[in-house]
Amino acid sequence: MDYKSDVINKTAKTLRERLAKTEDKKSILRAPELGALYEHLKTLTAGKLRADFGKEINALKTELEKLVSESAMPAETREPIDVTAPFGINTPLNKRPGLLPAESGSKHPVMAELEKILDIFGRMGFSAVESPELDDDWHMFTSLNFPPDHPARADYDTFTTTEGLVAPAHTSTMQNRVLSAGREDLAAGRPIAVVIPGRVFRNEDLDSRHEHTFYQLEGVYVDRGVNAGNLIATLKAFLEEYFGQSLEVKTQPFYFPFTEPSFEFTLSCPFCGKAGCNICSQTGWIELLGCGMIHPNVLKMAKIDGGEYSGFAWGMGIDRLVMMKYGIEDVRHFESGNLKFLRQFA
Ligand code: DAH
């Protein structure tokens, strides 16, 4: 075997071995070793030697192309991937079309914590539905007692599409649907008890505490004779279970168009027991969420009689809760797709 064939054989061996190991099979066709062979070819003077060498390189390239195309399974035997994911957000997992295989990934920390959160609320009698990632102005604002042109609309920094749809800025966008669907429960003497996890969007200036995409957990509870004491007890019971310890809670008056009265809900810092630490900015307390008694107009828009029934609702930032639990300093890690960050939770 002459010297030139020897170089080609060695390169062929290296590339075949690399092809077997690499995930991105096609990258082998751009391997620098292959490029080097072509470069070398250019330096040869015209003649039989050069022609033979050229043929051998081409044969190698053809072989690699064949291996690359064989390594991809025939298209007809593979599960089709429909990137439009054509199923309703609340379709049970086993009824969803197969999307990408997940064996090599791991759960995102926000999703892993969400499962724990839903488990706790499930044990407290709450069912769960998801909120959509595209909704309309009526659900996002009007059904929640934001009159047209009300200044509070501006607080929500909402993204809209050119067609006039909204990327929901809060999971409250689901309240009217959940309340309307719950009328039958009320008529049958059962409460409406639903939590709504969802991805929400705001046109924010980004910093370590603000991200354009984040997660909320809405809660809605309606029955006869429900009062603010029930709201506070429910949230306290959840937080004590989640953090596995007794906590103190406080409420301060606040304003939301869809609750009356409205509160900002604060808990004693689960990390320092009120002594003051980095997590609670040395104050001993953490402002966690907005909540209140559902405004009679909101009940009315879902055709529920506010004279007969009353209820409470809250909206909690899930990212915030997970950041607190793990001492994560920057909310932007969550949407970064940074494997170094994600693998810490795998
Ligand atoms: N939707 C509010 C927000 O994102 C949070 C909220 C406050 C939700 C009070 C509620 C509530 O259900 O009753 O700022």
Give pLDDT tens digits for 193-227.
999 999 999 999 999 989 999 999 999 999 999 99
Instruction: Spell out the long-range contacts of 33-37 with Cβ–Cβ below 8 A and sequence spacing 24 or more.
Output: 34/60, 34/61, 34/64, 36/11, 37/7, 37/8, 37/11
Pocket test for ligand 1, best of 135, 143, 166, 172 (most atoms within 8 A of CB): 172
- The two beta strands, 192-201 and 127-128, are parallel
Centre of ligand 1 from the C-alpha of residue 105, in Å? 33
Across the range 302-329, mean pLDDT stands at 95
Residue 237: C-alpha distances to residues 150, 233, 245 (Å): 35, 6, 10
Q: Is the CB of 256 under 6 A from ligand 1?
A: yes
Centre of ligand 1 from the C-alpha of residue 256, in Å? 7
Could you give the 3-state DSSP secondary structure of residue 248? coil
Q: Is the CB of 310 under 6 A from ligand 1?
A: no
Q: Is the CB of 259 under 6 A from ligand 1?
A: yes
Residue 265, pLDDT > 70, answer yes
Q: HEC string of 13-65? A: HHHHHHHHHCCCHHHHHHCHHHHHHHHHHHHCCCCHHHHHHHHHHHHHHHHHH
Nearest CA to ligand 1 atom 12: 314
Query: Is the peptide bond between 261 and the residue preceding it cis, with omega within 30 degrees of 0?
Result: yes
Across the range 140-155, mean pLDDT stands at 92
Give pLDDT tens digits for 69-105.
877 766 666 666 666 666 788 888 777 776 655 566 7
Nearest CA to ligand 1 atom 6: 315
Closest ligand 1 atom to the C-alpha of 175?
12
Centre of ligand 1 from the C-alpha of residue 243, in Å? 22
Output the pLDDT for position 1: 43
Q: Is the CB of 121 under 6 A from ligand 1?
A: no
Question: Is residue 6 within a helix (H) or strand (E), and if so which, with residue range?
Answer: helix 3-21
For the chain, percent of residues with pLDDT exceeding 70: 92
Q: What are the structure tokens assigned to 342, written together?
A: 């994600």
Nearest CA to ligand 1 atom 7: 290
Q: CB under 8 Å to 138, separation ≥6 — which residues?
A: none
Q: What are the structure tokens assigned to 26, written together?
A: 């096609």
Partners of 285 in the beta sheet?
268
Nearest CA to ligand 1 atom 9: 291
Of 240, 210, 235, 226, nearest in space to 291 by CA: 235
Nearest CA to ligand 1 atom 4: 170
Q: Is the CB of 315 under 6 A from ligand 1?
A: yes
For the chain, percent of residues with pLDDT exceeding 90: 66
What integer best gives the mean pLDDT of the chain?
91
Output the pLDDT for position 90: 86
Across the range 282-292, mean pLDDT stands at 96
Output the pLDDT for position 78: 60
**Distance from C-alpha of 273 to C-alpha of 286, rounded to nearest angstrom:** 11
Least confident of 160-164, 263-267, 323-327: 323-327
Question: Is residue 121 within a helix (H) or strand (E), and if so which, with residue range?
Answer: helix 109-123
Q: Is the CB of 290 under 6 A from ligand 1?
A: yes
Centre of ligand 1 from the C-alpha of residue 163, in Å? 26
Residue of 252 and 150 predicted with greater confidence: 252
Residue 163, pLDDT > 80, answer yes
Q: How confident is the model at residue 315 (pLDDT cuts 50, 70, 90)?
A: very high
Residue 174: C-alpha distances to residues 40, 65, 180, 298, 299 (Å): 66, 52, 10, 12, 13
Across the range 304-322, mean pLDDT stands at 97
**Distance from C-alpha of 118 to C-alpha of 197, rounded to nearest angstrom:** 9
Q: What are the structure tokens assigned to 231, written together?
A: 């709201």
DSSP helix, strand, coil percent of the chain (3-state; round to 5): 45, 20, 40
Q: Is the CB of 234 under 6 A from ligand 1?
A: no
